[in-house]
Amino acid sequence: MKNIYKNSLLALLLTCVGFGAQAQQYPLFSHYTVNDFAFNPAIAGTADAIDLRATYRTQWVGLTEHPETGYLSGHGRLGKLPIGLGGFVYNDTAGKLQRTGGTAAVTFMQQLNEKTRVSVGLSAGFQRIRLSNLDPDTQANDPTLLNGEDGIGTPEYSAGIYLQSGGFYAGFSVPQIFKTRIEFNGNNSANNELTRHYYAMAGYKIPLSETFAVEPSVLFKKVSAAPLQYDVTARVFYKNLLWVGGTYRSNAAMAALAGIRLKNNLMLAYAYDLPTTDLKTVSNGTHEITLGLTIGKRIDSDEDGIPDNLDKCPDKPGPKENDGCPDDPIAAEEDPEEEEEEIADLNDPLADSDQDGVLNKDDLCPDVVGLIKNDGCPLGDRDKDGIRDDIDKCPDVFGLANNTGCPIDDRDRDGIVDNVDECPDIPGTFAGRGCPKEDTDGDGIADSSDLCPETPGYDGQGCPKISDAQREILNLAIRNLYFDYDKDEIRPGAYQYLDGLAELLIKHPQFNVNLKGYADERGSRAYNLDLSKRRVESAFFYLTNRGVPKDQLALEYYGETLPDDMRPTEAGFQLNRRVEMSFFFD
């Protein structure tokens, strides 16, 4: 372990907010469709109005010093020019770490046709990263922590592109496009930098009727050397005034969404996240609320492209040539005799206007050709597989388009289709490519590839997944387990952090912790070895007295060997009078 005090700021950067090559550094938003400008500068000005947003997100409620984010943005179009301007400020805290910054963005827009527009955006900003609410005793002999309170300032730059076409939208952006190095006190490790992020978003608002619409959307997020993460969302709208929906975030959480528009220019949105990982046992979830204000937007209640003050039918969509009404303008110019004849036919009990063989009186779709078995309406998609029933060879069974609507065979019913199953007649696992593999802990990873073969886990290597919040609980306990000279008593300031670790271990019996005791070089080797033994036993007894089973703890002690700091000073000796801890399994 490196010098814990000297590198405490970097440790917090890595564990609390993810300043490492494999972590998400940008704040997450469950309602990403109403906070898209936060990660794509090309959104600025696309609303053809001044759009103001304020968001507050409190994450993992119930954990000590849980993350909180405040975000305030505004953007709009520069008059009639194809240019958008915008900016936002934010404050993001996680434990002792605080990030505060601001960004300004400019967008250039190009209208491709009447419905389609593309925009390209660039942004530049500045953020300050600092430590706050530190323990004076902890930072007294540590210039690194003292400098951490002053903070580190760094610029950041982003770029993005955004496409709108009717109800469809898509965007791609790269925040922190330049990997700015975070340096302090001579530490310029490659891990201490703002890493480049990649975001891709797409969605489509589909009208279902005059009052209801549904909007599926997806957001992909990628950070260098980290797994691809995606959010899949569906929202249902009522008259464009209310919406409800849900989001699934891969390997992280599920969220419920809701929103309302007031007087066409005010918007209130709320999201509640529930973790799908082990974090759900120690967290009460995440709350996110967004308030929006639109200034200068032309009100268009039926969304037909004609503002209400010019729309003769503001509640029903219609073409511009008919002043926004759905009625056919040509109908009024038709021959009155033909109109009378048509009315007579409609009143005829034997009339069949659409000539589909179903009389008008029995036809649920009298103006659309349909089928008799479907009461005169065209076939839909009964199995909801996206393939119309009239061309679906398996209209009542969910299937695939490349198999004409029928499901691909899976003879052994192991969830792996036969064309990729190496053992199509024997149930197997995904890890075994459809073939059975020895899997002692039953987590789907064969023992030959499982780093924890006796403990089920889902971190990709067969071990229980340890979240950043859980690692921080352990790190806080480590950073407070230092001892006075020639003493083995735990300092009172460490009690709350050891209590948090005890609670975590009780809730997760599969987690084990290895405790290692050390001493400084003063005194004989035999005495220091016994002193380090007494120190690690003090931590052991404290945790077991708080209810942690003894078999979840392993003890080691090394005396004055393996010092953490080689300086023959009191500051160096203090850093060597310690107990270190680490998770292990099996």
**Number of domain units in the chain:** 3
Q: Are residues 69 and 161 in the same domain?
A: yes
CA–CA dist 104, 199 (Å, integer): 19
Of 115 and 552, the one with more pLDDT: 552
CA–CA dist 412, 415 (Å, integer): 8
pLDDT tens profile 96-106 = 778 899 999 99
CA–CA dist 415, 394 (Å, integer): 19
Q: Does the structure show a pLDDT above 80 at 243?
A: yes
Whether 427 is in a domain gets the answer no
Domain limit, last residue, from 338, 370, 402: 370
Whether 497 is in a domain gets the answer yes
pLDDT tens profile 467-507 = 889 999 999 988 889 999 999 999 999 999 999 999 999 99
pLDDT tens profile 165-198 = 888 999 999 988 887 766 545 444 434 567 788 9
CA–CA dist 541, 9 (Å, integer): 30
Q: What is the pLDDT of residue 389?
A: 73
Rg for the chain, CA atoms, rounded: 31
Q: What is the pLDDT of residue 166?
A: 81
Q: Give the CATH number for residue 474.
A: 3.30.1330.60
Lowest mean pLDDT among 275-279, 292-296, 483-487, 579-583: 275-279
Q: What is the pLDDT of residue 104?
A: 96
Contact 238, 211 (CB under 8 A): yes
Q: Give the CATH number for residue 184.
A: 2.40.160
Residue 144 gets the label, from left (phi > 0), alpha (psi -120 to 50) or beta, of alpha
Whether 35 is in a domain gets the answer yes
Q: Does the structure show a pLDDT above 50 at 11?
A: no
Whether 277 is in a domain gets the answer no
Q: Are residues 198 and 346 in the same domain?
A: no
Closest residue by Cα to residue 100 from 40, 27, 33? 27
CA–CA dist 413, 332 (Å, integer): 62
pLDDT band at residue 338 under the 50/70/90 scheme: very low
Whether 442 is in a domain gets the answer no
Torsions phi, psi for 341 (to 5 deg): -65, -40
CA–CA dist 108, 46 (Å, integer): 10
The overall longest dimension of the chain from CA atoms, in Å, is: 117
Lowest mean pLDDT among 20-34, 60-74, 177-191, 277-291: 177-191
The number of residues in the chain equals 586
- Considering Cα of 364, then 369, then 375, then 378, what sign does the dihedral take? negative
Q: What is the pLDDT of residue 323?
A: 72
Question: Which residue stretches of 289-436 are H helix?
Answer: 336-347
What value does the mean pLDDT of the chain take?
A: 79
Q: In what order do the strands lie in the sheet with 512-517?
A: 553-557, 512-517, 579-584
Lowest mean pLDDT among 169-178, 425-434, 555-564: 425-434
pLDDT band at residue 329 under the 50/70/90 scheme: very low
Closest residue by Cα to residue 59 from 249, 264, 319, 265? 249
Percentage, residues of the chain above pLDDT 90: 36
Q: Does the structure show a pLDDT above 60 at 342?
A: no
Q: What is the pLDDT of residue 414?
A: 67
Nearest 5 degrees, angle CA 178-CA 181-CA 187? 170
Q: What is the pLDDT of residue 352?
A: 78
The one-letter amino acid code at 316 reads: K
Structure tokens at 210: 């005059």
Q: What is the pLDDT of residue 67?
A: 87
Q: Are residues 350 and 475 in the same domain?
A: no
Torsions phi, psi for 431 (to 5 deg): -65, -30
- Give residues with Cβ within 8 angstroms of 202, minimum separation 6: 168, 169, 170, 171, 217, 218
Domain limit, last residue, from 354, 370, 386: 370
Whether 297 is in a domain gets the answer no
| Tokens 């052991």 found at | 540
Give the residue-averaged pLDDT of 283-292. 91
Q: Does the structure show a pLDDT above 60 at 7?
A: no
Structure tokens at 503: 């609670």
Of 234 and 378, the one with more pLDDT: 234
Give the residue-averaged pLDDT of 284-302. 81
CA–CA dist 39, 198 (Å, integer): 9
Q: Does the structure show a pLDDT above 80 at 14?
A: no
CB burial class (10 A; 0-12, 13-18, 19+) of residue 202? middle
Chain centroid to Cα 306, Å, comes to 36
Strand partners, 261: 267
Angle in degrees, 0-180, between the axes of helices 495-507 and 468-478, rounded to the nearest 10: 140
pLDDT band at residue 2 under the 50/70/90 scheme: very low
Domain limit, last residue, from 311, 335, 370: 370
- Secondary structure (3-state) at 552: helix
CA–CA dist 497, 474 (Å, integer): 8
Q: Are residues 210 and 95 in the same domain?
A: yes
Whether 93 is in a domain gets the answer yes
Whether 439 is in a domain gets the answer no
Lowest mean pLDDT among 166-175, 323-332, 482-491, 572-581: 323-332
The one-letter amino acid code at 283 reads: S
CA–CA dist 83, 110 (Å, integer): 9
Torsions phi, psi for 59 (to 5 deg): -105, 140
Indicate the pTM of the whole model: 0.51
- Secondary structure (3-state) at 15: helix
Of 415 and 456, the one with more pLDDT: 456
CA–CA dist 260, 239 (Å, integer): 11
Contact 439, 457 (CB under 8 A): no
Of 36 and 181, the one with more pLDDT: 36
Q: What range defines the domain where residue 339 resides?
A: 320-370
Contact 197, 221 (CB under 8 A): yes
Give the residue-averaged pLDDT of 354-364. 78
